[in-house]
Amino acid sequence: MSWLWGNLNWVVFAPLIGAAVILRCPRTAVQRMQRIALVTTGLTLLLSLGLLTQFEAGEATLQLEQLRPWIPAVNIWYHLGIDGISLPLVLLTALLAFLACVGSLGITERVKEYFVLYLLLETGMLGTFVALDLFLFYIFWEVVLVPMYFLIGIWGGGRREYSAMKFFLYTLAGSLAMLLGILAVYLHTGSFDLIALRERAGADFPLGLQQVLFLAFFLAFAVKVPVFPFHTWLPDAHVDAPTPISVLLAGVLLKMGGYGFFRISYPLFPDGARWFVPAMAILALINILYGALVAMAQTDFKRLVAYSSVSHMGFVLLGLASLTETGLQGGLLQMVSHGLITGGMFFLVGVLYDRTHTRDLTAFGGLGAHLPLYAGLLTFFALASLGLPGLSGFVSEFLSLLGAFPTQQLITALAIVGIVLTAGYMLLMLQRVLLGPRNPRWHALPDMTRRELVTLVPLLLLIAFIGLYPWSVLRLQAASLAFLLRLVGGAS
């Protein structure tokens, strides 16, 4: 079974095969296409769990590699592999893609196109996390853009066309800067291979060039994360995307940016990274505080969650800026944790929106007594988001702060304010939605359906599990992050 189990090719391209099968279905066979999509994403999830069983957690090297020449004339290789940095994100992606696929069963319009694009998107996302050749990485990175554009633009709401185009233009502008960076790396070293390049640890690049290259890659990743001031596409795209796509946007796409720092910027340009760290810390702080403050001012439920993402992703940046192992652990875990929590939050916003067709927080109230299941879940995810101890968000944010404190004391101290602000807007949101007098408009709202529970309960369990037993994930990451830290040469 080794050709299937623990084979990265299948993990990445299984969704594409599913898409090809759906392409051959007649337009009207909605149920069949839904089933194929579910089976495909489910199988992909199983296959990615298979990676977990084959993975040696103590090793910092790349595992389960696939290596084939692709365009030998320019030394481009088809090179896949995972390590402790990518594995948690691959699992997160496969899980969210499956759950969001369950959530997509509510899509009734142009179903065929939807699932084809959806599965293409999944291939792009998974490929980004396992590609070890810069060129291949770029291809997967860009393959994500096109389906995402359509998914927001066709099935979204509000100003969907505007938001989809804005998303496309912003990310492409960032990616193209990265493309120049990739070309410059190749012209200096003759290689696109991330592993070979990382072993050189920036020895090929003088400091000035490292700084330029770091900035080129930074532009691409900063748009994706998003780092203030490149974040303005995010609220539009997240709000106007359909629910399952918002889940993937927040849960996976933002992580592609964070992952880029871990996989490319830090190991390839260590001097550039150290040079940039002070700026990174300040940007992290701005993200945390600015995101939280703006979230606090929102009356649109979805926009609030969108801005909370800006704030939460700030902790990833803070972890990166710490240059300590604890901080990097926290930053990477925060990506997983935020994916789970915010994914859940977007599902919950979608649940309410499906029933009321409004996201105006002032229009709700008193739903707590009326929808007990919903209230329970919303409370759980809101508490997870504000960093309640015992849940995953607490562990990751705490580790980020703990790791950053020795190297960035002032900024860490200020960042703690962000947690207070998060508690502020999350509790305010809970109060507006669940407590207070009941709006008579919503007297006949049904509670959660079984399908909605299926999408949320796995997330809930994982958040609690990671919160109680964070070593389960940290264990996977530890060796790779320690190796990364040695490359960058920060304090241990």
What residues line the site for other proteins (CB under 8 A)?
Answer: 71-74, 110, 113, 138-139, 142-143, 145-146, 149-150, 153-154, 160-161, 164-165, 168-169, 172-173, 176-177, 179-180, 183-184, 186-187
Residue number with CB closer to other proteins (74 or 416): 74
- The distance of Cα 346 from the centroid of its chain, to the nearest Å, equals 13
Q: Rounded to an integer, what distance in angstroms lies between the CA atom of residue 244 and that of residue 152?
A: 10
- Whole-number minimum distance, CB 437 to other proteins, in Å? 41
The smaller minimum CB distance to other proteins, of residues 184 and 427, is found at 184
Largest CA distance in the chain: 70
CB of 263 to other proteins, least distance (A): 18
Query: Least distance from C-beta 209 to other proteins, angstroms?
Result: 12
Angle (nearest 5°) at CA 424 between 422 and 427: 100
On the 0-12 / 13-18 / 19+ scale of CB atoms within 10 A, 360 is exposed
Q: Residue 154 or 282: which CB sits closer to other proteins?
A: 154
Least separation in angstroms between CB 186 and other proteins: 7
Q: Which helix (H) or strand (E) holds 64?
A: strand 63-71
Q: Answer yes or no: are the C-beta atoms of 20 and 14 closer than 8 Å.
A: no
Tokens of 62: 């790349």
Rounded to a whole number of angstroms, the minimum distance from the CB of residue 392 to other proteins is 35
In angstroms, the CA 373 to CA 351 distance is 12
Q: Which is nearer to other proteins, 109 or 443 (CB)?
A: 109
Select 179 or 459, whichever has its Cβ closest to other proteins.
179
Paired tokens of 457: 């309960």
User: Which is nearer to other proteins, 134 or 456 (by Cβ)?
Assistant: 134
Which residue carries 């300590």 as its tokens? 324
Q: 113 vs 447, which CB is nearer to other proteins?
A: 113
Nearer to other proteins, 136 or 460 (CB): 136
Per DSSP, helices labelled H in 56-144 are 86-103, 111-130, 134-143
Q: Which residues contact 80 (CB under 8 A, 6 or more apart)?
A: 8, 9, 12, 64, 65, 66, 127, 130, 131, 132, 136
Exposed, middle or buried: residue 9 (CB in 10 Å: 0-12, 13-18, 19+)?
A: middle
What is the token pair recorded at 318? 């803070």
Residue with tokens 């596409």: 233
CB 70, min distance to other proteins, A: 8
Q: Are 130 and 44 in contact (CB under 8 A)?
A: no
Report whether the peptide linkage leading into residue 458 is cis, meaning its omega lies within 30 degrees of zero: no
Q: How far is the CB of 194 from other proteins (least distance, A)?
A: 17
CB of 72 to other proteins, least distance (A): 6
